[in-house]
């Protein structure tokens, strides 16, 4: 459900709130009449905006409870929608608003429990609980508080567990990619261990060969003093042993060099999905999407595009809070490609502040974002890197939302065509 709410932005919370309002509202209408629909509607609105506007959703919980009391209603079934609101806020809202939501929900429940237990007349039947005296009122308060605290804390904890699981632990796809990467690393480590064993054996053999060369050279030095012809035979044996040692060294070098070449393969487009998983583990809502018929490009162009995405994500990680949405969208056409990297870091940062004026953000900042170019050594490097393949990079600031990096390669197929294989 968390993925559904996040993926459909406003639509999914509205559908959820409407469904619960119809279900619980019909029950309230049957039991307490039309006026019970008013607080139910307020609770539903609170749920509909909880994911995006928690600062407005939380007061609506208290307002709906106050309306119940003013209309002299017993607890309405639609009040359970507040538990859903608390769940959504616990998943998506910053820590400050999560705690405020739990406090407001508990305080509203306490107020409603006190109203029902101590203001209704004696012998009032409240959903099967008959208030006969003051002791009965006290018992009703304790029971209702237990229910209020149990439901609200349960849904709040479920929201925190769900949010932690989704945003920080990762989805099933993330786990599958991580498991596959772990398996690949395990295979590489096993192969490396085998090569180290082989290298150890070859190294031992080389030491023996070099030791033999030294021994033969020392023996030849003494032998040549007694017999000049013995020096020639000694030199031949030294050359033969040295040649054998050189052969073993070449084998060792070739094996180690081959492994180095495999490990030094540069990253490319196929490595972006694991990169998204890495940034989701950092706490960012990173996603990758390709649209249009993707064509093959050479290794250099693939590395260039990977670096553009990597540098943009590093900027997001450095300058935006955890929980920022980052989308990496590729649009492929016949001869070119456009890359868009968007984040909502400014929106997430402002969302966590009670007083937006404390940020110092003004209308003038919006105007500057629209007319002033964004510069910096990092952005300059991105532009120069893209220019190698006929591309251009533009970085823009969306007022009140975040930053957008747009890289356009109109002739990528021409500049980055893969050379045909020789037969």
List pLDDT tens digits, range 249-302: 776 666 666 544 444 457 888 889 888 888 888 888 999 999 999 998 888 888
DSSP state of 81: H
- At 330, which CATH number? 3.30.565.10
Q: What is the reported pLDDT for 308? A: 92
Same domain, 232 and 155: no
| Residue 400 pLDDT greater than 70, yes or no | yes
Same domain, 31 and 63: yes
pTM, rounded to two decimals: 0.46
Distance CA 102, CA 109 (A): 11
Residue 386 lies in a domain: yes
pLDDT in tens, 221-240: 777 666 666 666 677 777 77
Same domain, 154 and 184: no
Same domain, 183 and 321: no
Q: What is the reported pLDDT for 174? A: 64
Q: What is the reported pLDDT for 97? A: 87
pLDDT in tens, 63-92: 988 988 888 887 778 788 888 888 888 888
Same domain, 253 and 279: no
What mean pLDDT, rounded, does the chain reach? 78
Domain boundary among 126, 145, 169: 169
Residue 423 lies in a domain: no
Residue 416 φ/ψ region, left for φ over 0, alpha for ψ in the -120 to 50 degree band, beta for the rest: alpha
Residue 420 lies in a domain: no
Give burial (CB, 10 Å; 0-12/13-18/19+) of 45: buried
Alpha-carbon distances, residue 5 vs 79, 87, 283, 289 (angstroms): 21, 12, 18, 19
Distance CA 157, CA 91 (A): 9
Same domain, 208 and 326: no
Residue 252 lies in a domain: yes
Domain boundary among 263, 289, 320: 263
Domain boundary among 169, 197, 224: 169
**What is the domain count for the chain?**
3
Enclosing domain of residue 252:
172-263
Same domain, 294 and 233: no
Same domain, 242 and 317: no
């Amino acid at each position: 459900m968390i993925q559904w709410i996040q993926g459909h932005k406003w639509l999914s919370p509205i559908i959820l709130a409407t469904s619960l309002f119809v279900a619980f509202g019909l029950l309230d209408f049957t039991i307490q009449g039309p006026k019970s629909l008013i607080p139910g509607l307020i609770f539903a609105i609170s749920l509909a905006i909880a994911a995006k506007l928690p600062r407005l959703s939380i007061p609506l919980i208290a307002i709906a409870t106050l309306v119940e009391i003013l209309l002299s209603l017993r607890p309405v079934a639609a009040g359970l929608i507040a538990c859903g609101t608390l769940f959504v806020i616990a998943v998506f809202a910053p820590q400050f608003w999560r705690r405020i939501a739990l406090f407001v929900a508990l305080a509203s429940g306490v107020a409603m429990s006190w109203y029902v237990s101590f203001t209704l007349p004696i012998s009032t039947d409240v959903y099967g609980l008959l208030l006969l005296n003051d002791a009965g009122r006290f018992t009703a308060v304790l029971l209702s508080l237990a229910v209020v605290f149990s439901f609200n804390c349960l849904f709040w904890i479920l929201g925190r567990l769900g949010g932690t699981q989704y945003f920080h632990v990762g989805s099933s796809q993330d786990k599958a990619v991580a498991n596959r990467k772990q398996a690949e690393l395990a295979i590489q480590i096993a192969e490396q261990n085998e090569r180290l064993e082989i290298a150890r054996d070859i190294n031992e053999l080389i030491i023996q060969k070099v030791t033999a060369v030294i021994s033969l050279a020392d023996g030849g030095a003494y032998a040549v003093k007694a017999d000049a012809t013995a020096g020639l035979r000694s030199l031949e044996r030294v050359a033969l042993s040295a040649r054998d040692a050189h052969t073993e060294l070449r084998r060792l070098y070739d094996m180690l060099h081959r492994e180095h070449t495999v490990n030094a393969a540069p990253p490319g487009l196929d490595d972006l999905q694991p990169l998204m998983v890495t940034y989701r583990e950092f706490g960012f809502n990173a996603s990758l999407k390709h649209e249009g018929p993707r064509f093959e490009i050479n290794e250099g162009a693939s590395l260039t595009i990977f670096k553009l995405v990597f540098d943009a994500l590093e900027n997001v990680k450095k300058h935006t809070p955890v929980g920022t949405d980052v989308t990496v969208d590729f649009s492929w056409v016949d001869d070119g490609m456009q890359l868009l990297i968007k984040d909502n870091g400014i929106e997430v940062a402002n969302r966590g502040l009670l007083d937006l004026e404390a940020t110092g953000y003004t209308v003038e900042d919006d105007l500057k974002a629209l007319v002033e170019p964004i510069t910096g050594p990092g952005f300059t490097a991105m532009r120069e890197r893209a220019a190698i393949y006929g591309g251009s990079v533009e970085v823009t600031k969306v007022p009140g939302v975040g930053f957008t990096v747009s890289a356009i390669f109109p002739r990528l197929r021409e500049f980055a065509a893969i050379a045909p294989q020789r037969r």
